[in-house]
Copies of this chain bind each other. A is one copy, B any other.
Amino acid sequence: MKPTDMAKEGTEMTEETEHMIEKNGAKETEHLVSAGDTKEMRAVILSGFGGLNKLRVTKKAMPEPQEGEVKIRVKACGLNFLDLMVRQGNIDNPPKTPLVPGFECSGIVEAMGGNTKGFEIGDRVMAFVNYNAWAEVVCTPLDYVYNMPDDMTFPEAAAFSMNFVAAYMMLFEVANLREGMSVLVHSAGGGVGQAVAQLCSTIPSVTVFGTASSFKHEAIKDSVTHLFDRNADYVQEVKKISPEGVDIVLDCLSGENTGKGLGLLRPLGTYILYGSSNMVTGETKSFFSLAKSWWQVEKVNPIKLYEENKVIAGFSLLNLLFKQGRCGQVKTVVEKLFSLYNQKKIKPVVDSLWALEEVKEAMQRIHDRGNIGKLILDVEKSPTPLMASDSTETSEAGEEEEEHEGDSDNKERMPFIQ
C-alpha cells in the first residue's frame, strides 16, 4: 500500500509522543492519577508493534488544546478490530511507536483553544481522534467533536461514532438503500454489523443477511432476517433464499470474498469493501504478508461491471476524516444519526466495559470474536482484581501473545471492524 497522509500525521504525533515520554519517563507509574492533576494523565501506550505485551498503561504529559482544538476529559473509548491491526503494525505505513492507540472517545469538554465556537466547558461530547484516544484527556480539532444527545451515555457515544457513521454512509451515501432492498453483512454481531442491522430496520421491508459465530445467533437473531454461521458457505446460503442475490454486500474480509460478494449482487447492486482483514495474520508484524495480500487481491475488470450492471466501492471512515477532509459531510451524518437516536430508532449495543488496565483482555475478546456489539474502555473504571493481575504493565521481553487454539484456521476471515 502507498504511504498516506494519515499515517504521516500519525508519525508526527508519535514523535511528539516520544518527546513527551522522554520528559516524563522518570515519572511513569502504574498508580492512578487523580482527575485533578493537570500535568499528567494516564494513557494506554503501544511500545512497539506486536503482541498484547506491547501494551501498558502509563503516565504522560497532559496535552493542551491548540488553536481550533477542544480538550476533552475522556469518559469512554471505543475499541475496534482496527486497533488490533494497529497493534500488529499490520496497517499501511504504520506510524512510529511508542504511540497511544484509539480513534474515538466520549467525554466532557474541559478547555478550548482559540476559534472553537459552538463548544463550552462542561459540554458532553463524542469525538474522533487520529490516534491518542485511549487516554484520560484528549485534544482534537473541533471539526471532529459533536455535542451528544442528552439521553446518550458516554459508553453509548463511544460505541456510536465509528460504527454508526460508517454503517450509515455505506448504506445511504455510497449505496442507496431503499424500501424492499436486501443487504449482506459479515460479522453481524460486531459493532458495524449491529449498526447496519439497526439502520436497515429504519427502512421498510429491508432483508438483512448476516454471518456470525453460531453462539451469537440467539442474541442477535431479532436484528437480522437470515443468520448464517460464519464458517458456512454464505454464497450458497444466500442463493438458497434469494436466487437473484442481494442489493448491497458489505465486506470486511477482502481477498476471495470480493469475487464472492460481486457474484452475489443483483443488477445495479453495490459491493462495498470496508476492511481488509486478510491482511491480519498470526505474525506479530508481517510486512511481506501485507505486501502479498495487496498484490494478490482480486482485481476487477470495469467492462465486467458494465456488462453486469454492478457497482464496487471502498469505504474507509478514517481516511475520509483524516486524509480527505470530509468532516463537514460526516457532521451532517452524525446529526442525522443523533436524530434517529433521539427517535429511539437506533441504539448502540455495548458488549462490555473495561478499565484501561484491562485493554489486553478486551483485545483478546475482540480477537476471539467473543463480543456482541462494541467493547468500551471505561476510563473511570477500576480494573477488576482478578483481571488486573494480567493487565498491568509487564516486562516487554519474553512474553508472547497467547493465541487461542484453532484461531490460525480462521485468521483470514477475521473482521476489520471500523
Residues of A within 8 A of B (CB): 1-2, 4, 92, 169, 173-174, 176, 254, 258, 267-268, 270, 273-276, 294, 297-316, 319-320, 324, 326, 329
Contacts and interface: CB of A to CB of B under 8 A. Distances in A.
B308 A314 contact: yes
B314 A313 contact: no
* Residue of A276, A305, A326 with most chain B CB atoms under a 10 A cut-off: A305
Q: Lowest 3 A-B CB distances belong to which pairs?
A: A306-B314, A305-B314, A311-B313
A274 B298 CA distance: 22
- Work out how many copies of this chain go into the complex: 2
A199 B173 CA distance: 20
A259 B173 CA distance: 23
Contact of A268 (B92, B174, B302, B312): B174
A273 B267 CA distance: 15
A268 B294 CA distance: 21
A92 B294 CA distance: 32
A306 B276 contact: yes
Contacts of A326: 267-268
B176 A306 contact: no
B258 A302 contact: yes
Contacts of A267: 319-320, 324, 326
A303 B273 CA distance: 8
A122 to B, nearest CB: 34
Given A267-B326, A300-B299, A316 B311 contact: no
B307 A302 contact: no
A274 B310 CA distance: 11
Nearest to A308: B314
B1 A303 contact: yes
Contacts of A309: 314-316, 319-320, 324
A319 B300 contact: no
A314 B310 CA distance: 6
Contacts of A298: 302
Contacts of A303: 1, 254, 273, 276, 294, 297, 314
Contact of A319 (B258, B275, B307, B324): B307
A409 to B, nearest CB: 24
A309 B174 CA distance: 9
A50 B275 CA distance: 48
A400 to B, nearest CB: 30
Contacts of A316: 306-307, 309
Contacts of A329: 268
